[in-house]
Copies of this chain bind each other. A is one copy, B any other.
Amino acid sequence: MGNCCQVFKDYFCRPKNTNIRIKLPVVCFTWQIAMIILFGIFIRYNREADAHWLSTLAEENITSPLENDFYYRYPSFQDVHVMVFVGFGFLMTFLKRYSFGAVGFNFLIAAFGLQWALLMQGWFHSLDASTGKINIGIENLINADFCVAGCLIAYGAVLGKVSPVQLMVMTLFGITLYAVEEYIILNLLHAKDAGGSMVIHTFGGYYGLTISWVLYRPNLHQSKRLQGSVYHSDIFAMIGTLFLWMFWPSFNSAITGHGDAQLRAVINTYLSLAASVLTTVAITSLSQKTGKLDMVHIQNSTLAGGVAMGTAAEFMISPYGAVIVGSLCGVFSTMGYIFISPFLEKRLKIHDTCGVHNLHAMPGVIGGIVGAISAAAANEVDYGKQGLIRVFDFTGPYKNRSTSAQGGYQAAGMCVAILFGVVGGAIVGAILRLPIWGDPADENCYDDEIYWEVPDEDEEGQDSIPPILEYNNHMIHKQQEISESNFSVDQCGS
């Protein structure tokens, strides 16, 4: 594909225009109006959210409004919601001058994505055939957040290198692809994936990585000055890490079966996450000359245990199984940051800003494999006859499926997720290469100045700056002024 890429590159190589004054409002307005129209045509409240519900209690054998599923899903939903907006948003604030973009664009695409996800997932899963309407309730909101999470993972791979318009396009297609692969994996293959190791993390990771590969910038070193963190941006990122880490048990249990399955998913995820913290610390310390810890590893690899427990969370893999998986994933993920990320960048030309490969793609694949193996190994002794049926939902057309067959379908699901990520990412990446989306020049990557009104850092106003600092300020802002003109030449790999 190298040559083909070069042709593309030469063709589209021209000065970058990062003025998004027309593009971004047009995209936001058009899509929001489209949402209004589509919601008007398709979306209605489901039974439990409808004012008629109260009169139907008796017929449905419900004795009290307290049996509304709202009470048994909403706390988990809110935890997932915090992970999506604060968790993912703040995790990406680590860059010294891209925190606005991290938390702000995360907010934008998540808010768009969840509306589109309600529609896309609704058509596949909640369409009432008789009325042609999608009836939404609390589970739809959780699933929409899950769907959005897949796109936010992909954002991590291209963080700082794309425009908000590109992100909106990436999210539009990402949600669409997600809904299709989810339908294939969960409904057609009837694989289980409660916390989305395959559906969310593997798909999202490879989707983002492939896009990043297509959008590869050979001269990214021109914005090297902005690629690191500063002290306080690393603390902000820890807010993201911790809220993801703490609420991950809610994520993996949010849509599992009621009762023991939810509790088991919580226990497994909690233990797996705790184990990854220790092994992450061990490997990061081992990797430095004097045993110092690296914040990048602490911020990311400690979460690998949660990703890897996504598929198997509700299975009877037993507490020590969870601890083993978490321990291994902490090791693999940290080693990924040390060895695989540089390899991906140098050899495969994939630049992965947040290390999405090490935190989502690889642990997601591990999680899928763990899920396939533990499904294949499931038996009536561990689960009970009834338990086996309920955990794997061996009902209806799947009544006679064996657990080993289930293991096979789980593995097939993993392949579907990778396939959708890579092929989808390649297509969407090609679309995003069109020179119309307002992406930044290489020397302006990772810089909030391009898309945000950034406050003057000088804390005491213009009056009180002694000349020497003013000079310094001048030097600092010089480049910014250039970029404010919003036209600069991308040297396009030469």
Question: Which chain B residue shows the least CB distance to A35?
Answer: B323
In contact, B383 and A259 (Cβ under 8 angstroms)? no
- Assess whether B104 is in contact with A298, with CB atoms less than 8 Å apart: yes
Looking at the complex, which one of B67, B74, B86, B459 makes contact with A239 (CB distance below 8 Å)?
A: B86
* A112 pairs with B278, CB closer than 8 A: yes
- Known contacts: A19-B291, A78-B250. The answer to whether A464 contacts B452 by CB under 8 A is no
Residues in B with CB closer than 8 Å to A250 are 78
A472 to B475, Cβ gap below 8 A? no
Give the residues in chain B near A39, CB-CB below 8 Å. 271, 319-320, 323
Given contacts A71-B72, A115-B271, A319-B43, whether A384 and B52 have CB atoms under 8 Å apart is yes
B115, A275: Cβ atoms closer than 8 Å = yes
| Beta-carbon contact of B454 and A231 below 8 Å | yes
CA distance A50 to B28 in the complex (A): 47
Please indicate the chain B residues that have their CB under 8 angstroms from the CB of A79 in the complex.
78
Q: Is A318 an interface residue (CB 8 A)?
A: yes
Interface stretch, picked from A136-144, A191-199, A365-373, A406-414, is A136-144
Taking the complex as formed, is A471 at the interface, i.e. its CB lies under 8 A from any CB of chain B?
yes
- Chain A interface mostly: helix
* A292 B111 Cβ-Cβ under 8 A: no
Interface residues on A, range: 35 or more
CB pairs A–B below 8 angstroms (12 shown): A20-B285, A25-B282, A25-B291, A31-B278, A51-B388, A53-B259, A53-B387, A82-B246, A111-B278, A115-B275, A225-B463, A460-B476
**A45 touching B318, Cβ below 8 Å:** yes
Q: Give min CB distance, A67 to chain B, whole Å.
A: 7
A21-B316 CB under 8 A given contacts A54-B387, A466-B468, A476-B460:
no
B32 touches A260 (CB 8 A): no
Interface centre among A49, A250, A258 (most CB of B within 10 A): A49
Residues of B within 8 Å of A388, CB to CB, are 51
Q: List, in ascending order, chain B residues with CB within 8 A of A320's CB.
A: 36, 39-40, 43
The yes or no answer to A264 lying at the interface (CB within 8 A) is yes
Q: Say whether A394 faces chain B, with CB atoms less than 8 Å apart.
A: no
Residue A70 contacts which of B33, B68, B235, B259 (CB distance < 8 angstroms)? B259
State the Cβ distance, A32 to closest chain B Cβ, in Å. Answer: 4
Are B259 and A291 closer than 8 Å at their CB atoms? no
Q: Is there an interface contact between A246 and B86, defined as CB atoms closer than 8 Å?
A: yes
Is A484 positioned at the interface, with any CB of B under 8 Å from its CB? yes
Is A230 an interface residue when CB atoms closer than 8 A count as contact?
Answer: yes
A51 & B260 in contact (Cβ 8 Å cutoff) = yes
Interfacial residues of chain A within 258-279, with CB under 8 A of chain B in the complex: 258-264, 266-267, 270-271, 273-275, 277-279
Given the contacts A54-B387, A288-B21, A455 and B263 also touching, CB distance less than 8 Å: no
Are the CB atoms of B386 and A285 closer together than 8 Å? Answer: no
Q: Which residue of chain B has the shortest Cβ distance to A285 in the bound complex?
A: B24
Does A29 have its Cβ within 8 Å of any Cβ on chain B?
Answer: yes
Name the distance in Å between A445's Cβ and chain B's nearest Cβ.
13
The 8 closest A-B pairs by CB, nearest first: A225-B461, A65-B259, A21-B291, A51-B387, A111-B277, A28-B282, A39-B320, A20-B291
- CA–CA, A28 to B18, complex, Å? 48
**Stretch with Cβ within 8 A of B (4 or more), from A94-102, A208-216, A338-346:** A94-102
Q: Which of A48, A224, A260, A316 has the most CB of B within 10 A?
A: A260
Q: Which residue of B lies closest to A273 (CB)?
A: B111
Closest-by-CB residue of B relative to A450 is B292
Q: Do the beta carbons of A108 and B70 come within 8 Å of each other?
A: no
A55 within 8 A of B: yes
A458 CB to closest chain B CB, in angstroms? 9
- Residue A423 at the chain B interface, CB threshold 8 Å: no
A464 touches B451 (CB 8 A): no
| Cα separation A450 to B290 with both chains bound (whole Å) | 9
Give, as a whole number of angstroms, the nearest-CB distance from A473 to chain B. 10
A20 to chain B, nearest CB (A): 4
Partner of A231, one of B40, B81, B111, B455: B455
Q: Is A169 positioned at the interface, with any CB of B under 8 Å from its CB?
A: no
Question: A305: nearest residue on chain B (CB-CB)?
Answer: B111
A118 to chain B, nearest CB (A): 8
A138's partner among B29, B261, B263, B273 (CB-CB below 8 A) is: B263
- Write out the residue numbers on chain B whose beta carbons fall within 8 Å of the beta carbon of A78: 75, 79, 246-247, 250
Are A278 and B100 in contact (CB-based, < 8 A)? no
Chain B residues lying within 8 Å of A226, measured Cβ to Cβ, are 461
In the complex, the chain B residue whose C-beta lies closest to that of A388 is: B51
Please state if B384 and A258 are interface contacts (CB–CB under 8 Å): no
User: CB within 8 A of A274: which of B21, B40, B111?
Assistant: B111
